[in-house]
Amino acid sequence: MTQEKALISIIGKPSQYKQTSYKFQGNQGTYYLSSQMLDQEINPNYRILIAGMSLLDDVKNFNCKDYETCSNLVKDYLKENSNVDHNVGPFARTASKIIVTPNVFGNKYTQSKPGLDLYFNYVYKQVLDYLLSLDNVSEVHLDVTHGINYMPVLGKDAITLALSVYSILKNKEVNFSVYNSDPYVKDAVLNINVIERYTLDVRRSISNIVSPFFNQNIENLISPSKVIDGGQCWYKPKLIMRVATALASGNFIYLATKDIRDALECVENSISTINLKMSNNLIEYYPSHKRQLVNVHALCKVANDVFYRGNGIALKDLEDLAKKYSLNETIEILIRNEINLIKRVEGSIPEDPKLLDIIMGGDGLKKCNANKRNLFAHGGFERKVTYLWKSNDEIYVSYRDCLDNVENQLR
Amino acid sequence: MTQEKALISIIGKPSQYKQTSYKFQGNQGTYYLSSQMLDQEINPNYRILIAGMSLLDDVKNFNCKDYETCSNLVKDYLKENSNVDHNVGPFARTASKIIVTPNVFGNKYTQSKPGLDLYFNYVYKQVLDYLLSLDNVSEVHLDVTHGINYMPVLGKDAITLALSVYSILKNKEVNFSVYNSDPYVKDAVLNINVIERYTLDVRRSISNIVSPFFNQNIENLISPSKVIDGGQCWYKPKLIMRVATALASGNFIYLATKDIRDALECVENSISTINLKMSNNLIEYYPSHKRQLVNVHALCKVANDVFYRGNGIALKDLEDLAKKYSLNETIEILIRNEINLIKRVEGSIPEDPKLLDIIMGGDGLKKCNANKRNLFAHGGFERKVTYLWKSNDEIYVSYRDCLDNVENQLR
In DSSP notation, A280-324 reads TTEEEEE----THHHHHHHHHHHHHHH---SSSEEHHHHHHHHHH
CA–CA separation, B162 and B176 (whole Å): 12
CB contact under 8 A, A201 and B214: yes
CA dihedral over B335, B341, B345, B348, signed as positive or negative: negative
- B279 and B393 part of one domain: no
Q: What is the pLDDT of residues B266-294, one digit of tens each?
A: 999 989 989 999 998 899 999 888 889 99
Q: Residue B1: is its pLDDT beyond 70? A: no
Share of chain B above pLDDT 70, in %: 96
- A295 and A323 part of one domain: no
| Average pLDDT over chain B, rounded to an integer | 93
CA–CA separation, B152 and A154 (whole Å): 10
The lowest-confidence range among A59-63, A221-225, B24-28, B404-408 is A221-225
Find chain B residues with C-beta within 8 A of A154's C-beta.
195
| Average pLDDT over chain A, rounded to an integer | 93
Backbone angles phi, psi at A268, to 5 degrees: -65, -45
- A235 and A373 part of one domain: no
Mean pLDDT of A65-73: 96
Q: Point out the domain boundary residue: B267, B287, B303.
A: B303
Residue A80: what pLDDT? 86
Dihedral Cα A229, A234, A235, A237, nearest 10 deg: 30
- B142 and B269 part of one domain: yes
Spatial strand order of the sheet with A4-10 comes to A27-31, A20-24, A189-200, A174-181, A137-143, A4-10, A46-52, A97-101
- Is residue B287 reached through a cis peptide bond, with omega within 30 degrees of 0 on the bond before it? yes
Residue B80: what pLDDT? 86
CA–CA separation, B141 and B132 (whole Å): 16
Q: Residue B84: is its pLDDT beyond 60? A: no
- B194 and B104 part of one domain: yes
Identify the CA nearest to A178 among candidates B143, B115, B35: B115
Grouping H, G, I as helix, E, B as strand and the rest as coil, residue B122 is: helix
Spatial strand order of the sheet with B189-200 comes to B27-31, B20-24, B189-200, B174-181, B137-143, B4-10, B46-52, B97-101
Identify the CA nearest to A137 among candidates A178, A168, A165, A173: A173
CB B180 within 8 A of CB A116: yes
Interface confidence, given as ipTM, is: 0.94
Q: Where are the beta strands (DSSP E) in B171-265?
A: 174-181, 189-200
Exposed / middle / buried, residue B171 (Cβ in 10 Å: 0-12, 13-18, 19+)? exposed
Give residues 5 to 24 of B whose Cβ lies within 8 Å of A. Answer: 23
Residue B130: what pLDDT? 98
CB contact under 8 A, A216 and B195: no
H or E element in which residue B22 lies = strand B20-24
Q: What is the pLDDT of residues A267-304, one digit of tens each?
A: 999 899 899 999 988 999 998 888 899 999 999 999 99
CA distances from B300 to A353, B235, B260, B267, B307 (A): 50, 12, 7, 9, 10
- CA of A293 to nearest chain B CA: how many angstroms apart? 13
- Is residue A287 reached through a cis peptide bond, with omega within 30 degrees of 0 on the bond before it? yes
Find chain A residues with C-beta within 8 A of B250's C-beta.
330
Please provide the size of chain B in residues: 411
- The total of structural domains in chain B comes to 2
Asked if A116 has any chain B CB less than 8 Å from its own CB, the reply is yes
- Predicted confidence band of residue A226 (pLDDT cuts 50, 70, 90): low
Higher pLDDT, residue B229 or A378: A378
Q: Where are the beta strands (DSSP E) in A128-250?
A: 137-143, 174-181, 189-200
Indicate the DSSP class of residue B352. S
> Residues 6 or more apart from B322 whose CB is under 8 A from it?
B250, B252, B331, B332, B335, B336, B379
Residue A288: what pLDDT? 85
Residue A228: what pLDDT? 52
The lowest-confidence range among A85-89, A306-310, A377-381, B399-403 is A85-89
DSSP character string of A223-289: -HHHHSTT------HHHHHHHHHHHHHT-HHHHHH---HHHHHHHHHHHH--EEEEETTEEEEE---
Q: Residue B229: is its pLDDT beyond 60? A: no
CB contact under 8 A, B249 and A196: no
CA–CA separation, B141 and B324 (whole Å): 25
Find chain A residues with C-beta within 8 A of B211's C-beta.
204, 207
Q: Residue B230: is its pLDDT beyond 60? A: no
- B218 and B288 part of one domain: yes
Find chain A residues with C-beta within 8 A of B327's C-beta.
328
CB contact under 8 A, A106 and B248: no
- B83 and B232 part of one domain: yes
CA–CA separation, B270 and B264 (whole Å): 10
CA distances from A324 to A136, A300, A337, B8, B378 (A): 18, 16, 16, 40, 22
Q: Residue A185: is its pLDDT beyond 70? A: yes
Asked if B199 has any chain A CB less than 8 Å from its own CB, the reply is yes
Q: What is the pLDDT of residues B125-142, one digit of tens each?
A: 999 999 999 989 999 999
Residue B285: what pLDDT? 96
Spatial strand order of the sheet with A354-355 comes to A313-314, A394-398, A387-391, A354-355
Helix ranges (H only) for B142-251 are 151-169, 202-210, 224-227, 237-249
Give residues 63 to 102 of B whose Cβ lies within 8 Å of A. Answer: none
CATH of the domain at A228: 3.40.50.10640
- Count of other CB atoms within 10 angstroms of residue A372: 15
CA–CA separation, A119 and A100 (whole Å): 10
Amino acid type, B130? Y
H or E element in which residue B35 lies = helix B34-42
- B189 and B293 part of one domain: yes
CATH of the domain at A331: 1.10.3740.10
Residue B81: what pLDDT? 66
CA–CA separation, A146 and A32 (whole Å): 10
Identify the CA nearest to B351 among candidates B296, B389, B407: B389
The lowest-confidence range among A166-170, A228-232, B200-204 is A228-232
Mean pLDDT of B199-226: 84
Q: Point out the domain boundary residue: B250, B279, B303.
A: B303
- B58 and B127 part of one domain: yes
CA–CA separation, A99 and A118 (whole Å): 13
Cβ-Cβ pairs closer than 8 A, A with B, add up to 167
Q: What is the pLDDT of residues B19-51, one digit of tens each?
A: 999 999 999 999 999 999 999 999 999 999 999
- A241 and A296 part of one domain: yes
Residue B83: what pLDDT? 59
Q: Which domain holds residue B318?
A: 310-409
Mean pLDDT of A159-164: 98
Cα A302 from chain centre: 9
- Predicted confidence band of residue B190 (pLDDT cuts 50, 70, 90): very high
CB B148 within 8 A of CB B13: yes
Residue B358: what pLDDT? 97
> Residues 6 or more apart from B222 whose CB is under 8 A from it?
B237, B240, B292, B293, B295, B296
- B298 and B327 part of one domain: no
Q: Residue B217: is its pLDDT beyond 90? A: no
Q: Point out the domain boundary residue: B257, B272, B303.
A: B303
Find chain B residues with C-beta within 8 A of A144's C-beta.
150, 153
- Predicted confidence band of residue A356 (pLDDT cuts 50, 70, 90): very high
CB contact under 8 A, A193 and B329: no
Residue in B23, B204, B291 nearest the CB of A211: B204
> Residues 6 or more apart from B11 whose CB is under 8 A from it?
B33, B49, B50, B51, B88, B146, B147
Spatial strand order of the sheet with A282-286 comes to A109-111, A282-286, A275-279
Residue of A nearest to B147 (CA): A149
- B341 and B198 part of one domain: no
Most A CBs within 10 A among B25, B198, B372, hence the mutation to make, goes to: B198
CA–CA separation, A388 and B126 (whole Å): 56
Q: Residue B176: is its pLDDT beyond 90? A: yes
Identify the CA nearest to B105 among candidates A23, A38, A19, A186: A186
Identify the CA nearest to A335 among candidates A316, A319, A312, A356: A319
CA–CA separation, B231 and B270 (whole Å): 6
DSSP character string of B38-95: HHHHH--SEEEEEEEGGGHHHHT-----SHHHHHHHHHHHHH---TTT-S-HHHHHH-
